[in-house]
Structure 1
Amino acid sequence: MAHLRERALFVRHDTRIPGHAAEGGAPGVPTGEPIDRVHLARYTLGSATLEREIIGLFLAQLPLSIEQLRFAATDREWQIAAHTIKGSARAVGAWQIARLAEEAEKTSGVTDEAVRERVLAELETAGEAVESYVAVVFPADATRA
């Protein structure tokens, strides 16, 4: 148990991830990457395998949440779906997706078809960017060791 505490302290105080361009980034501050690995490492104790699993869960849920936005029948349903995306994106450090979802949460995609289509397209594009990034940074065969 003590070794876990030591590792947690190491990750908290030395948030640099080798090869990561935005070493020591602050939470919520865009790093230029689709996923802020420094932010994510705070929750995974720097385990690339755990990071990949968490991001995989996020990427599996994201299309379902986007579909909830697409088929929202009321402003409340729209806001709940946008809020869900915002929260999960913030949890993994997907700041671009979180920002888009926050903007969506403040609009009415139910009554304004142009807003709905723009938000959905931007979220899908940002999701694809995360998928591409994850495929490069966390190759599937590397996590099966």
Structure 2
Amino acid sequence: MLDQQRHPADRPIDRTHLARQTQGDAGLQREVLQLFLAQAASARGELANADAKARRHLAHCLVGSARAVGAFALADGAAELEAAPHSGALVDRLVSLIEEVQAFASELLAS
């Protein structure tokens, strides 16, 4: 079971924010998370081989959707890459953030 005592900022997804966004509808939360995970997985797969223009676009798309689900660290990482799409280090950081969110969301969806 997930540690409910941790501050939301300590988690890859702020569950309180996600609940507010979905008006507390657990089914809708699952659906929104699944859609976000599909988008994040697609972006993750494309980032490494994308040129700067494509990286900027992928990052831009992730910023909004990550904020919508409460994945604020991922949104911040995507915003950084959007501003500096030539940075391999920022690509690596964003991939790591995506993996962290994927693992956390998988736990949420399994519970």
TM-score exceeds 0.5: yes
Which residues of structure 2 form unaligned runs of 5+?
A: none
Residue range with higher mean Cα deviation, 56-65 or 128-137: 128-137
Could you say what secondary structure the match of 2:77 adopts?
A: helix
Structure with the higher helix share, 1 or 2: 2
Residue matched to 2:56:
79
Q: Does 1:34 align with 2:12?
A: yes
1:63 corresponds in structure 2 to 41
- Runs of 4+ more than 6 Å apart: none
Which whole-Å CA distance do the structure 2 matches of 1:40 and 1:80 have between them?
24
Distance change (3 Å), C-alpha of 1:43 and 1:20: farther
The whole-number CA distance in structure 2 between the counterparts of 1:100 and 1:44 is 24
Task: Give the alignment's TM-score, normalised by structure 2.
Answer: 0.80
Check conservation: 1:83, 1:105, Cα contact below 8 A. yes
2:82 is the alignment partner of 1:105: yes
Q: What is the rounded CA distance, in whole Å, between the counterparts of 1:65 and 1:95 in structure 2?
A: 17
Cα deviation per residue 1:26-71 (whole Å; 9 max; x = unaligned)? xxxx611000111111121112222122111111111222344333
Report the count of equivalent residues. 108
Change (3 A) 1:57 1:45: same
Task: Say if 2:91 is the partner of 1:120.
Answer: yes
Which residues of structure 1 form unaligned runs of 5+? Answer: 1-18, 23-29, 110-114
